[in-house]
Amino acid sequence: MTPLVLIFILNLMMHNRNPYRLVVPLLLTLFIILSSCNAEDSIERQIKKLNLKYRIDSEGDYRVQVIIPENRNVEVGVSTHTESLEKNVRVREIWSVAVRIPGKLPEGLAENLLRDSWSTRKFGSWALAGTTSDGKQVLVYISRIPESSSVKVLHAAMMDTAESARGLHDALSELEGE
């Protein structure tokens, strides 16, 4: 409770013969307000609980350093903002750049990635995030999880995103240098 609320309650008790008549409804109202507040951990607190290094980019999103098998470090973006799916459901995006390909995508790559998304991906899918200033197509793996997801689900989604993006990066790394 904030000091102002305590002072207010003490003041009521000192100047009123029956303070419970005013204090009890006030405390019940305060309890209802506090319990209706979102009890979910903020995304920053969740990332800190995982003991992962991160920075905040110019758009306010988290850039988290995730360690995948073979002690490989992969940067994963975690959106600060969420999107509304339904009235009471909000989702958060988690993504990682797999590769930046100059020009057009290689023949058959899009079909293979769609097939891969359908048959093997659990959290997310492949997407084109746009084009860089030098004309490279940015291919990412993106996951969307409910805003209310636990730390465990957030970590699983970040790991899946990092491993998926890094796997495609390794497979297509020769294209990036063209």
CATH number at residue 76: 3.30.1460.10
Clarify whether residues 123 and 78 are in a common domain.
yes
| Over residues 86-104, mean pLDDT | 90
> With bands split at pLDDT 50, 70 and 90, how would you rate the model's confidence at 17?
low
State the pLDDT at residue 38: 45
Number of domains, the chain: 2
Higher pLDDT, 103 or 65: 65
Work out whether the CA dihedral 40, 45, 51, 53 comes out positive or negative. positive
Clarify whether residues 16 and 57 are in a common domain.
no
Q: Look at the block and give the residue holding tokens 């197509």.
A: 137
**Strands (E) located in the chain:** 54-56, 62-68, 72-86, 89-102, 124-131, 136-146
Clarify whether residues 32 and 47 are in a common domain.
no
Clarify whether residues 12 and 65 are in a common domain.
no
Clarify whether residues 13 and 93 are in a common domain.
no
Clarify whether residues 59 and 119 are in a common domain.
yes
DSSP bridge pairs for 145: 92
State the pLDDT at residue 23: 57
State the pLDDT at residue 15: 66
**Host domain of residue 24:** 3-36
Reference 123, options 159, 78, 84, 80; nearest CA is: 159
Clarify whether residues 52 and 140 are in a common domain.
yes
Q: Is 60 exceeded by the pLDDT of residue 84?
A: yes
Q: Look at the block and give the residue holding tokens 């904030």.
A: 2
Clarify whether residues 83 and 126 are in a common domain.
yes
CA distance 135 to 117: 25
Clarify whether residues 99 and 15 are in a common domain.
no
Clarify whether residues 30 and 114 are in a common domain.
no
Clarify whether residues 129 and 167 are in a common domain.
yes
pLDDT tens-digit readout, 115-141: 888 888 888 999 999 999 998 999 999
Higher pLDDT, 95 or 22: 95
Clarify whether residues 30 and 49 are in a common domain.
no
Q: Are the C-beta atoms of 105 and 95 separated by less than 8 Å?
A: no
